[in-house]
Structure 1
Amino acid sequence: MSELPEFAPIAPQPKGIGCFADAAGRARFAAAYRAGMTRLPPVDATRVVETSFGSVTAYRFGPPAAEPILLLSGRRASTPMWAANIASLRRIGTVWSMDSIGEPGASAQTRAITDPRDQATWLDEAIGQLDCERAHLLAVSIGGWLATQCLLHRPDRIASATLLDPAMTFAPISWKMIVVSLGSVLPGMPQALRHRLLGWLSGGVPVDDSIPEARLIASGMRDFRQHLPFPRPPAPDRLAAITTPLLVILAGASIVHDPARAAERARLVPDAQVEVWPGRSHAINGEAPEEITARVGEFLSGL
């Protein structure tokens, strides 16, 4: 793409506002973002919308639609992480991808986010400005937690939700994930070790700067100062109150949580379709793009 919207701000910023540590870090991230965007299908429309917590950048792939698929990325990630998925998802409908407020990307936070309701509020406000009636959420990792908060607090604009190995949603994170999370953001962490931690998260697949998505996430870890409240799994009674159609696909080889425990808890949602895919890692969206598209298409056609 020839032009990019403004990225998240540079430090110093008011307390609670996510920002890049310095101009060099933001430039490094922007370069990785630009490289990642070239791997996506052509963008048909870019929208920058204002919410109570900042501006949100969203990209549309396909014509306007009343009920598009809306992609929500994982931690320290943004739209380019969906390079393996968008082309195939376009076969079943129009796709929007949104960079989340508080994460490194082309959305800019302006107000501190203090609780899950705040998270649901900005997402609901952003969806309301995408020229659609409702959206089918497709979210991975911490994006799944964000989608779930919207189901709990602002469900009216959500037609359905598909959660891909959602983190901190149905089970607490594992000690392995704590090591990855803490180790990857330590100041002065060698890039090679940061890549090794990302590879561990992705089922042992080698990771280096030749992979644009890995370079993007590594820069987000290194260069972005995040200020979001620690996510916690919803209580059982809150899960039982969800009425939006829900598909949960858990990665059987995920190191983020105990997949069996997460599946058991996910089934507290009435009528939720819950599956564990053996052998898949937390990077499931990149490992099984065609399978995900087929399953999402089947799920949506049954609504």
Structure 2
Amino acid sequence: MTEISFPEPRIGPAWARRRIGAFRDAAAFERFAAVYREAMDGLPGPDEQLTVDTSYGTVRVYRFGSGEGVPLVLMPGRQSCTPLWRANLPGLLGSGRPVYAVDGLGEPGCSVQSAPMTSGADQAAWIDEMLAGLALRRAHVLGVSIGGWLAVQVALHRPERVASVIALDPANTFAPLSWKMLVVSLGSVIPGMPEGLRNRLLGWISGGIDNASEHIEGRLIASGMRDFKVSFPAPALPGADELRSIGVPVLALIAGRSIVHDARKAAARARTLRDGTVEIWPEASHAINGEYPERLAERVHAFLDGVHRNGQG
């Protein structure tokens, strides 16, 4: 069993007025903490449990594995955190590089926001400061959904430590959010939403499954939706010139059955990257990392091996 040390959380609506993410009340925090601890027990035991100070708050990071290779840093999606990677960590480990899983700042988890974040540059800044605090000179940054958007923002605004980016069906990155995703986003934050309806929204985004709450990842995200209020602006879609300016290798895996965006339009725009590898996985939903963990691990390792052979990381 993994012993989890929770820092003192932000609790209550007063934080929203300061544009700080917080748990809705003390009971909400306790509910979330219980699910988080249960979910962490399903992961391989981390080698280190780290807390890194940044200008925007303290960031919880878990290190899995070791090795001399350039580390892989995992950024989860909205209303999620490290346990999202339960299915992926076994396949991503053992490649000769350590894997760092991050609880996103301003999201539910063990990271604690202390200052507003109002732009992609702010988001990139805390991630860059976190990498510096971990003493990582270079890192491959892999993110899913909003985590993919975050990875691209770091490559745009703070690329010095970024060896490559792997974006898994990234939200509002290569194509605008669809009306379906807007419905899910708005509906998920309505206070007092019936649990059954929240689970239906989760199922919709996860390829239409009707039992999202039976999975620990689904329960964790549902708790994040219900119990935590995110307090930063919606992510901005990068401009065409911004995407073309990215100088690091990017692997973009687009889910063919995603409701987040039009997959073909997202893939077409991603192909304007200077050094981009773009694939549409036709049968994947937005929950691509949980649906295809073995295939994803093989693809990530092959991509990173190619980056290394080219002397880029």
Length-normalised TM-score, structure 2: 0.94
| 2:311 aligned partner | none
Give 2:32's match in structure 1, choosing from 12, 29, 32.
Answer: 29
**From 62, 67, 81, the counterpart of 2:84:** 81
Shift of 1:53: 0.2
Counterpart for residue 310 of structure 2:
none
Match of 1:281 among 267, 281, 285: 285
Displacement after TM superposition at 1:207 (Å): 2.7
Matching residue of 1:120: 124
- 1:10 corresponds in structure 2 to 11
Whether 2:152 is the aligned partner of 1:151: answer no
Question: Does the 8 A contact of 2:202 with 2:212 survive in 1?
Answer: no
Q: Give the corresponding residue for 1:193.
A: 197
Give the RMSD, CA atoms, in angstroms: 1.2
Q: Indicate the larger mover: 129-138 or 158-167.
A: 129-138
* Number of positions where the alignment pairs a residue of Structure 1 with one of Structure 2: 303
| Structure 2 CA distance for aligned equivalents of residues 172 and 191 of structure 1 | 28
Partner of 2:101: 97
Q: CA deviation at 1:225?
A: 1.2
Does the CA-based 8 Å contact 1:266-1:272 persist in structure 2?
A: yes
36-45 vs 3-12, which deviates more? 3-12
CA contact (8 A) 2:248 2:275 kept: no
Amino acid at match of 1:120: A
1:299 aligns with 2:303: yes
Partners of 1:222 and 1:174 in 2: CA distance: 22
Moved more, 57-66 or 174-183: 57-66
Q: Does 1:67 align with 2:70?
A: yes
**Shift of residue 286 of structure 1?**
0.1
**Partners of 2:8 and 2:182 in 1: how far apart?**
28
Conserved 8 A contact 1:115-1:229: yes
Q: Residue 230 of structure 1: CA displacement?
A: 1.3
Q: Secondary structure at 1:114's aligned position in 2?
A: coil
SS of aligned partner of 2:149: helix
Which residue is 2:264 aligned to?
260
AA aligned opposite 1:9: R
Q: 1:176 aligns with which of 173, 177, 180?
A: 180
CA contact (8 A) 1:198 1:207 kept: no
SS of corresponding position for 2:101? strand
- In structure 1, runs of 5+ residues without a counterpart are none
For 1:21 and 1:300, how far apart are their aligned partners in 2? 40
Amino acid at match of 1:4: S
TM-score by length of 1: 0.97
